[in-house]
């Protein structure tokens, strides 16, 4: 007896139950469509879910503020000599590659150096990459718990003087879909094209 013959004699309720069972079996077998991200697919991750921090203009920001946009979030500091400016430059390039859809990409830069990264410094720094990007500024007291909740590593490395230290820190970017769900992790150096491709996939899901 075929599925078709069973279905043809089933009540509407039994047809719905049968369809649900078949869909569940297909999902378990891995036959459903799944985005082919260029970055690491971390859909369902239970970290990096919440933040509430002032931006460079003093406005309190949460991830929920950016619903309807893809968010790319990166931890760093303004005196970083290489990783941070490279990552922000790639993010700005990815936004340009998206054309008109670039308006639906929001860059967020979270400081791991709140002692030196003042709002004034952050304002100028972000403007040098993209005027639409926002810097988020935790206090020194807030930073440890925030970094832990995002599984981000950071450590101050002493320099020749008390103020010439550098910061070791995680170098990847978190990508959130238009509903504020953490979906993709991009390793440092993945490139603007790969990032733009994943943003396109997430925007397409929302259409």
Determine the pLDDT at residue 14.
Answer: 53
| Nearest alpha carbon to residue 194 among 86, 79, 37, 50 | 37
**Beta pairing, strands 166-169 & 40-41:** unpaired
Domain extents in the chain: 1-32, 40-205
For residues 56-68, b (16+ Cβ closer than 10 Å) or e, as one string? beeeebebeebee
CATH 3.40.50.2300 fits 40-205, yes or no: no
pLDDT, tens only, 129-188? 999 999 999 999 999 999 999 999 999 999 999 999 999 999 999 999 999 999 999 999
Binding residues for Cu cation: 80, 84, 169
- Structure-block tokens of residue 52: 């509430």
Coil, strand or helix at 70: strand
**Beta pairing, strands 134-136 & 105-111:** parallel
pLDDT, tens only, 25-84? 443 444 457 889 999 999 999 999 999 999 999 999 999 999 999 999 999 999 999 999
> Looking up tokens 């010439």, which residue turns up?
164
Question: How far is C-alpha 10 from the geometric centre of its chain's CA atoms?
Answer: 46
CA distance 77 to 109: 8
Binding residues: 80, 84, 169
Cβ pair 165, 64 in contact under 8 A:
no
pLDDT at 1 over 60: no
How many residues would you count in the chain? 207
CA distance 46 to 182: 9
Q: What's the pTM? A: 0.83
């Amino acid at each position: 007896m075929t599925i078709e013959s069973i279905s043809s004699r089933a009540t509407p309720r039994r047809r719905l139950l049968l369809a649900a069972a078949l869909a569940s079996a297909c999902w378990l077998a891995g036959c459903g469509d799944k985005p082919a991200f260029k970055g690491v697919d971390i859909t369902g991750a239970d970290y990096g879910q919440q933040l509430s921090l002032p931006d460079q203009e003093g406005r309190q920001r949460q991830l929920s503020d950016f619903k309807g946009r893809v968010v790319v979030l990166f931890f760093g500091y303004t005196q970083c000599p290489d990783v941070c400016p490279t990552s922000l430059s790639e993010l700005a390039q990815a936004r340009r590659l998206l054309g008109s859809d670039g308006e639906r990409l929001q860059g967020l830069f979270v400081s791991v150096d709140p002692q030196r990264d003042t709002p004034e410094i952050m304002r100028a720094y972000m403007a040098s990459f993209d005027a639409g990007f926002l810097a988020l500024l935790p206090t020194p007291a807030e930073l440890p718990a925030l970094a832990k909740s995002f599984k981000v590593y950071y450590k101050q490395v002493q320099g020749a003087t008390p103020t010439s230290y550098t910061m070791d820190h995680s170098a990847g970017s978190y990508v959130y879909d238009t509903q504020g769900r953490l979906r993709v992790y991009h390793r440092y150096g993945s490139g603007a094209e790969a990032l733009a491709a994943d943003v396109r996939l997430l925007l397409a899901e929302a259409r």
